[in-house]
Structure 1
Amino acid sequence: MNSNFIKNTFLVFVFFSFYGKTVAQSNHVLWYNQPAEYFEESLVLGNGKMGATVFGGANSDKIYLNDATLWSGEPVNAKMNPEAYKNIPAIREALKNENYKLADELNKKIEGKNSESFAPLGTLEINNSEKGKAINYHRELDISNAISKVSYEMAGIKYTREYFVSAPDQIMVIKLTSDHKGALNFDINLKSLLKSNVEVRSNILGMTGFAPIHENAGYAVLPKYLDIKERGTRFTTLVQIKKTDGKITSFGQTLSLKDATEAIIYVSVATSFNGFDKNPATEGLDDLAIALQNLNKSFAKSFDQLKESHITDYQKFYNRVTLDLGKTSAPDLPTNERLLRYADGKEDKNLEILYFNFGRYLLISSSRTMGVPANLQGIWNPHLNPPWSSNYTMNINLEENYWLAENTNLSEMHLPLLSFIKNLSVTGKVTAKTFYGVNEGWASAHNSDIWAMTNPVGQFGKEDPSWACWPLSGAWLSTHIWEHYVFTQDKNYLKSEGYPIMKGASQFFLGWMITDKNGNLITSPSTSPENKYIAPDGFIGATMYGGTADLAMIRECFEKTIKASEVLNIDGDFRGKLQAALSKFHPYQIGKKGNLQEWYFDWNDEEPQHRHQSHLFGLFPGDHITPLKTPDLAEAAKKTLEIKGDETTGWSKGWRINLWARLWDGNRAYKMFRELLRYVDPDGKKTEKPRRGGGTYPNLFDAHPPFQIDGNFGGAAAVAEMLVQSDENEIRLLPALPDAWETGSVKGICARGGFEIEMNWENKILKKVSVSSKTGGKTTLINGDKKQDITLKKGEKLEINW
């Protein structure tokens, strides 16, 4: 062949690829040329309640099913340790005497039960009668419409499958087709790790069962079933086939279709969960009736009707934000190969956009059930004994799940968390009194579950106080209420629901704090989540007083509660109490290494590179430490991050990227963002040189490891944080833009004050910005040294050539 022809063809290829005309990789499709073998290779779908994990096998397809409301347990007995608070004076006395070992032991006396577990509902299997080798296999997830597809050829016949989980119709739909008449022959089975019964009635395959009632006591023991009537959450799964031709038959626990050309499988799930305070057995919903109603309503509709309403509903959220990071020369590769290439340092801007988009996709897909926020695994858990019970870990992980809710224009997805916080404030009133001896307000601790458990965990004294004993989550969670208000300007919500919860959190801390020998307000006892200090005598412990993280979170809680009372013009006297308390807080301390001190004294950490950086809360997600307002503290925070280093777990890296973004160091943030996307092998995969550690699995799930969804959410939030930062008075545009993103545009990012931003930039210089206001208001736009004050009416849009 002519060498010039080859050369010219190559140049054309490079030209088109470079300018993104033909082969540039997608920023909204994950795709693979083989089925998933491991959970971390599967593709996930969800409607905010029902979760489906699709493997896409040719001979046999496996789909894990979950329901966000299926947990072990029942409403928590908040009075489980009614006299625990009586130990507080002794702990404080031991700390006053600097007897940290005794304080650590005594702190165990204010522990309660562990959380319940998120349960796996079951597995749907589609087994094809024809067995053979599949060729031209393709599997994908298109996150622009929340639809997964599989196609392959076998014995000269092309087979396709299309999957989605609909929010409007509360149904999972799977469409199977063949390009030869009568070539579809398959069996469907259901099974569950939970106690269950499977049968076929009237050509509907049904599975009913119930979740265990006891928490998984030590993370290493399987939940025990007790055969006690009227205990535990019931569940129902129903499966029905709609066919164009062929014959539906059943045998035992199997539903079959023979000699069909096209078929639609409808999957309906429901549970008896009826709220955190209702017994799911005696006061539960009728799960069978709900599942059947959703099935019948959906079955009466065509596939196209169901698909259209699903896409319309999903895209009204997803399409609000678009991101472009400029030209890319990355080739068109399967997503797993794309990650491997990226891990070798290659450019793939559209993979970075895909990761951002995927974070938003996961939040829409896992957070649409009031009172039931996304857990450690979103809603996708195949394990009877999931890592960390797949619970709500509230010393970072639950909150990190929602960092992208408001700024990436998914405010509605924040509501499940906000309604859950309201539930916590109910059980938390009892916890405040019985565990901490505080009679006003509410408290919540390190772990929770669907039952809004608020007590400190630890199996009544068996666990380490470094993680079990921490009453601060109410302070952190209450700031989410303010965030929702300040982004949406929804004063009705703030008045009717939000502010009373914020006030209750603040009331608890007013009653909890004591004064130190200098007359400053501190917490005692105090821990810094999951970290330990080394005392001067060599003792390694967790229980302390005046921890920096405690004071940072309470400061943020008080400041936001004050602002809320000012907005509503109520509670002047209470506001005064908070202001007086803030003026007496033990101040931040900068240690001998130039770092922000984590402990009351300048003590070393047992693990200097510890994954938690809770004492940097004031920098992010808080906002009372900034390079401008508090340059010394910001510099100390930077030093702390440098000491900790960049190598850490998935969710922790997600947090650190946001922290570097708040320090306006875009290149350091981008370096760690790339590391967050480092390829990690599936947990069970055996390879000669396995790639392990924190990063990203082949299906873009975050590797803690194991899988935790918080890293996905934290990483996606960080992209927005690099592009736009805001407070009640100003909006910073491109505050942490890395060199790698020198040219680009974004549309739909939200800013505090009820504003929405659209902008584009070239060579790292802002060119044009468009600001619209949801409710009307004023703000100051800032980019570099340039500022511009703007005032907009409700619905008004202002375009500025910067």
Structure 2
Amino acid sequence: MIKKIFTLLICTISFQAFCQDNLKLWYKKPAKIWTDALPLGNGRLGAMVFGGVKRELIQLNEATLWTGGPVRTNVNPGAYANLLLAREALFKEEDYAKAYNYAKKMQGYYSESYLPLGDLVITQDLKDTIPSSYFRNLDIRNAIATTRYTIDGITYTRQVISSAPDQVIVIHLTSSKAGKLKFKVGASSLLKYHTVAVSGNEIALKGKAPAHAQPNYIDSKNPITYDDSTGCKGMRFELQVKVLSKDGQITADTSGIAVKNASDVTIFLSAATSFNGFDKCPDSDGKDEHKIATDYLNRVASKNWQLLLTRHYADYHHFFNRVSFKLAAPADNSNAKLPTDERLVAYTKGAKDPELETLYFQYGRYLLISSSRTKGVPANLQGIWNKEMRPPWSSNYTTNINVQMNYWPAEVANLSEMHMPFIEFIKNVAVTGRVTAKEFYHAKGWALHHNSDIWALSNPVGDKGDGDPTWANWTMGSPWLSQHLWWHYQFTKDKKYLKEIAYPLMKGAAEFCESWLVKDKDGYLVTAPSVSPENAFYDDKGKRASVSIATTMDMSIIRDLFTNLIDASNELGEDKAFRDTIIAKKAQLYPFHIGKKGNLQEWYKDWEDPEPHHRHVSHLFGLFPGNQISPVNTPELTAAAKKTLELRGDEGTGWSLAWKINFWARLLDGNHSYKMLKDLLRATNVEGTNYSGGGGSYINLFDAHPPFQIDGNFGGVSGMAEMLLQSQNNEIQLLPALPDAWANGEISGLKARGNFEVSMNWKSKKIVTASILAVAGGKCTIRSNEPLTIVGMQVRSNKTTNGYVIAFDAKKGVRYNIAGKKFN
């Protein structure tokens, strides 16, 4: 009791991360469809909990369960010859249709697909299936899902966790009256070749994944195949279920495990695959999935629920509690008391609900912790949650925006460790990418295109001619992914990592860009062929086309890589000769151009768009996630970027809306960012695919592309963080794009480049107090919209043309307290 009172006292005195309230999604009824269900994950094992009464469905995933095997080499020996022909068509003939057709002949195979593991079904024997009370929730503060209902005076409770320290999913069932639990547990899988064995109190579901599944957007008579002519058969997998009870009777038959006369039951779920790395056959060279799953299960079988819960909480809180975010609530805060589905609808209709917005921010952090903790296996298009054998876009790694967006919030939201699976993946794809660069283009370095998968696929996809070059032949994957290598260093200042991991990979990407760039008629270095995903243009003859040279996105990404590589070389004090080469190449890159409408030109020429409101705004890469365009340093380009967004419009798919939050934040327009956030949070139950419009959130707050893509959730978190804190130009900007709706609030634990941890509270849109923890030390420059001073130091901010700037040398490990006040 004393400990509880003490904790409450701390919460009253100072808003701490572990004292955040209302961080729950909750509902008055079970899930009807998958996007109503609630996600759990430990980074490897995922579960979607439906919360049924008589029949509970828990849909399961394992992060490494994919179709296919290691990528093949020498898949298109004619690619290089067609590259030369495509360039000839572009430079000599300006025949974009011909270049398009040659590009189709430069393609390899499609990526593999992420698969569902199986379903666990708990069928409860109840006289009455209509509960007198019902409640289900997801507590993201503790990463636990609870279903509770009362029938015939008995309250039944189910709690579910996906534990990272113990690597199992645990379901704990209780009844308020002794001996009233009576149910059956069964397991099944959509994968064709699987077996289910039941013995005593255990179920073992074993099987093999297909050799290949065609993407869901490809028409095929046999889209899922189990035979592989390469000789590397599909991946093995195993799900094990164990049921334990303190007081009940447990029996088994071929249909599953039956429990009766119990009041407390724990169900353990363990799973593993034979995946043994991106370059090893999962069958002949695979791991022993049975042993792995069995070992996990054996290690937890003797642990009680409370111990498992304690271990789970300690692990999860270590990450989640680093950041707190609170906004002042309106006087009438009734919307916050509604179930989440009703709350989302009311918000969409105009109800003010800042607590829903902060919940959404923390929900994104929760999803990243839950889906990105497996080495070399980053969060895919759906995190780790998927129910389809042919999921949308194969649930793969789409590298022309989507997988990068997944990791935009990793560093700033103080989840640097969750970035590492993506960085490990980049190491893998650089290996296959060197083969792709050499075989397809006779180029140095490593290349990556529009799609990848767990096998680190790097070739342009399209089944050697079936793909649309508008997306399939985009070549800028390696330089864009390299941005994340540099970000991780900027936020951590880990020079060992920079020297041993980031710099060599960045250099390899730069070597590819060096090889890929050619000179145009004016002597500029350009890319060719070049696309602007996934858009098109009308050429000089009025014909629709999509393949040209030197798209603004291409040139921006390469300029970003070259800038970062130069900075990295200077940081290390090494590789001067290559640095000088890159400095010279950077000076020759085709520059930005402003079009006749005042917009930033997307193409090599100032062509018109067939789809003026296209969801991709790729040519604004230099605004975000790059930093080549900013109100402080490049006002003309900033104005052009703003005009581009105005012409493009505010509509878009889920991830497109999220990207626009970030764009408008970089333009320092908090109110427009906020409008895009509200659009991202609008309620939708659309189950179809809408490429140009739509967007919003399902009732479980999953991002609706539609269908579900998790990148919108992560991009939304990034955008909210950018509204509150920016650090891309060697300075920390406090509250750069604060909207009027967030006039009063506080946040703690955000990270800025330079490894500075930032906390702030503000009133009437002005800083009251802030603090900067210099984790690594070094020069610290702070920009704000009002004067600041460092408490206890004779350091005040100076007025500039773009706000106030304060600079000082920060000592490692010291926290600097900052006061916002007016000076005479």
Could you state the TM-score of these two structures normalised by the residue count of structure 2?
0.92
Match of 1:346 among 327, 346, 351: 351
Q: 1:168 aligns to what SS in structure 2? A: coil
Give the deviation of 1:464 after TM superposition. 1.1
Give the deviation of 1:300 after TM superposition. 1.2
Give the deviation of 1:675 after TM superposition. 0.7
2:68 corresponds in structure 1 to: 73
Q: 1:304 aligns to what SS in structure 2? A: helix
AA matched with 2:812:
K
2:558 corresponds in structure 1 to: 554
Give the deviation of 1:80 after TM superposition. 1.4
| Cα deviation code 1:261-320 (max 9, x no counterpart) | 110000001111011001111111111111011001011111111100101000100000
2:750 corresponds in structure 1 to: 749
Match of 1:308 among 294, 307, 310: 310
Contact 2:31 2:52 in 1 (8 A): yes
1:292 corresponds in structure 2 to: 294
Q: Aligned partners of 2:369 and 2:375: how far apart in 1?
A: 13
AA matched with 2:709:
Q
Q: Aligned partners of 1:152 and 1:135: how far apart in 2?
A: 7
Q: How does 1:103-118 map to 2 (within 5 A)?
A: 103-118=99-114
Verify: 1:36 aligned to 2:40, yes or no. Answer: no
Q: Aligned partners of 1:728 and 1:674: how far apart in 2?
A: 28
Give the deviation of 1:135 after TM superposition. 2.2
Contact 1:424 1:454 in 2 (8 A): yes
Contact 2:204 2:239 in 1 (8 A): yes
Contact 1:78 1:454 in 2 (8 A): no
Contact 1:428 1:443 in 2 (8 A): yes
Q: Aligned partners of 2:366 and 2:784: how far apart in 1?
A: 30
| Cα deviation code 1:505-533 (max 9, x no counterpart) | 00000110001000011001101111011
Q: 1:406 aligns to what SS in structure 2? A: helix
Q: Aligned partners of 1:26 and 1:580: how far apart in 2?
A: 54
Q: Aligned partners of 2:215 and 2:490: how far apart in 1?
A: 40
AA matched with 2:806:
Q
Match of 2:451 among 443, 447, 452: 447
Verify: 1:429 aligned to 2:427, yes or no. Answer: no
AA matched with 1:750:
K
AA matched with 1:49:
R
AA matched with 2:88:
E
| Cα deviation code 1:342-389 (max 9, x no counterpart) | 001110000000000000000000000011000000000000110000
2:407 corresponds in structure 1 to: 402
Q: 2:342 aligns to what SS in structure 1? A: helix
Verify: 1:193 aligned to 2:190, yes or no. Answer: yes
Contact 1:78 1:453 in 2 (8 A): no
Contact 1:205 1:253 in 2 (8 A): no
Give the deviation of 1:118 after TM superposition. 0.2
Give the deviation of 1:728 after TM superposition. 5.8
Match of 1:86 among 75, 81, 84: 81
AA matched with 2:586:
L
Match of 2:120 among 117, 124, 139: 124
621-630 or 80-89, which deviates more: 80-89
Q: Aligned partners of 1:201 and 1:534: how far apart in 2?
A: 66
Q: Aligned partners of 2:226 and 2:199: how far apart in 1?
A: 28
2:794 corresponds in structure 1 to: none
Match of 1:654 among 658, 663, 678: 658
1:336 corresponds in structure 2 to: 341
Q: Aligned partners of 1:446 and 1:602: how far apart in 2?
A: 25
Give the deviation of 1:786 after TM superposition. 2.1
Contact 2:226 2:234 in 1 (8 A): no
Q: 2:678 aligns to what SS in structure 1? A: helix
1:726 corresponds in structure 2 to: 727
Give the direction of change, closer, same or farther, for the CA distance of 1:162–1:493 in structure 2 (3 Å limit): same
1:4 corresponds in structure 2 to: none
Q: Aligned partners of 1:48 and 1:576: how far apart in 2?
A: 42
Q: Aligned partners of 1:799 and 1:185: how far apart in 2?
A: 58
Q: 2:687 aligns to what SS in structure 1? A: coil
Contact 1:63 1:123 in 2 (8 A): yes
Verify: 1:388 aligned to 2:393, yes or no. Answer: yes
Verify: 1:64 aligned to 2:66, yes or no. Answer: no
Point out where structure 1 has 5 or more consecutive residues left out of the alignment.
1-19, 686-691
Q: Aligned partners of 1:644 and 1:263: how far apart in 2?
A: 55
Q: Aligned partners of 1:197 and 1:300: how far apart in 2?
A: 27
Q: How does 1:508-547 map to 2 (within 5 A)?
A: 508-547=512-551
193-202 or 139-148, which deviates more: 193-202
1:282 corresponds in structure 2 to: 284
Give the deviation of 1:606 after TM superposition. 1.5
1:179 corresponds in structure 2 to: 176
Q: 1:642 aligns to what SS in structure 2? A: helix
1:322 corresponds in structure 2 to: 324
Contact 1:321 1:409 in 2 (8 A): yes
Q: Aligned partners of 2:562 and 2:427: how far apart in 1?
A: 18
Give the deviation of 1:203 after TM superposition. 2.2
Q: Number of matched residues?
A: 773
1:476 corresponds in structure 2 to: 480
Q: 2:299 aligns to what SS in structure 1? A: helix
Contact 1:40 1:683 in 2 (8 A): no
782-791 or 34-43, which deviates more: 782-791
Give the direction of change, closer, same or farther, for the CA distance of 1:27–1:518 in structure 2 (3 Å limit): farther
1:7 corresponds in structure 2 to: none
Give the deviation of 1:218 after TM superposition. 5.9
Q: Aligned partners of 1:791 and 1:82: how far apart in 2?
A: 56
Q: Aligned partners of 1:376 and 1:78: how far apart in 2?
A: 26
Q: How does 1:450-469 map to 2 (within 5 A)?
A: 450-469=454-473
Give the direction of change, closer, same or farther, for the CA distance of 1:682–1:615 in structure 2 (3 Å limit): closer
Q: 1:240 aligns to what SS in structure 2? A: strand
1:417 corresponds in structure 2 to: 422
Point out where structure 2 has 5 or more consecutive residues left out of the alignment.
1-14, 786-802
Q: Aligned partners of 2:131 and 2:321: how far apart in 1?
A: 35
Q: 2:561 aligns to what SS in structure 1? A: helix
Contact 1:214 1:225 in 2 (8 A): yes
Give the deviation of 1:82 after TM superposition. 2.9
Give the direction of change, closer, same or farther, for the CA distance of 1:171–1:745 in structure 2 (3 Å limit): same
Q: Aligned partners of 1:217 and 1:241: how far apart in 2?
A: 37
Q: Aligned partners of 1:178 and 1:327: how far apart in 2?
A: 37
Give the direction of change, closer, same or farther, for the CA distance of 1:506–1:193 in structure 2 (3 Å limit): same
407-416 or 97-106, which deviates more: 97-106
AA matched with 1:469:
N
Contact 2:327 2:745 in 1 (8 A): yes
76-85 or 479-488, which deviates more: 76-85
| Cα deviation code 1:719-762 (max 9, x no counterpart) | 11000000362100000000000011110000001100011100
1:359 corresponds in structure 2 to: 364
Q: Aligned partners of 1:36 and 1:445: how far apart in 2?
A: 38
Contact 1:486 1:728 in 2 (8 A): no
Q: Aligned partners of 1:626 and 1:500: how far apart in 2?
A: 29
AA matched with 2:75:
M
Q: Aligned partners of 1:470 and 1:786: how far apart in 2?
A: 41
Give the deviation of 1:89 after TM superposition. 1.1
Q: Aligned partners of 1:368 and 1:217: how far apart in 2?
A: 26
1:714 corresponds in structure 2 to: 715
| Cα deviation code 1:54-97 (max 9, x no counterpart) | 00100000011000100000000132113311211110000011
Contact 2:65 2:237 in 1 (8 A): yes
Match of 2:153 among 146, 153, 156: 156
Q: Aligned partners of 1:59 and 1:166: how far apart in 2?
A: 26
Q: Aligned partners of 1:175 and 1:790: how far apart in 2?
A: 53
AA matched with 1:718:
G
Q: Aligned partners of 2:512 and 2:533: how far apart in 1?
A: 19
Q: 1:648 aligns to what SS in structure 2? A: coil
Contact 1:728 1:753 in 2 (8 A): no
1:260 corresponds in structure 2 to: 262
Q: 1:641 aligns to what SS in structure 2? A: helix
Give the deviation of 1:661 after TM superposition. 0.1
1:783 corresponds in structure 2 to: 784
AA matched with 1:393:
T
AA matched with 1:304:
Q
Q: Aligned partners of 2:28 and 2:21: how far apart in 1?
A: 15
Give the deviation of 1:142 after TM superposition. 0.3
Contact 1:626 1:634 in 2 (8 A): yes
